[in-house]
Amino acid sequence: MKNMIFDTSAEMTDIYDLLLRLGVTANYIGFFHTAFAVHLAIQEPERLLLVTKCLYPEVAGQYQTNWSCVERNIRMIAEIAWNRSRPFLEELARRPLMDRPKASEFLAILAAYLLPRQYGDT
pLDDT digits (tens, 9 = 90+) for 53-106: 999 999 999 999 999 999 999 999 999 999 999 999 999 999 999 999 999 999
Burial class (CB in 10 A: 0-12, 13-18, 19+), 115: middle
- pLDDT at residue 1, as a whole number: 52
Helix (H, G, I), strand (E, B) or coil at 21: helix
Please, what are the domains in the chain?
A: 10-117 (1.10.10.10)
Q: How confident is the model at residue 23 (pLDDT cuts 50, 70, 90)?
A: very high
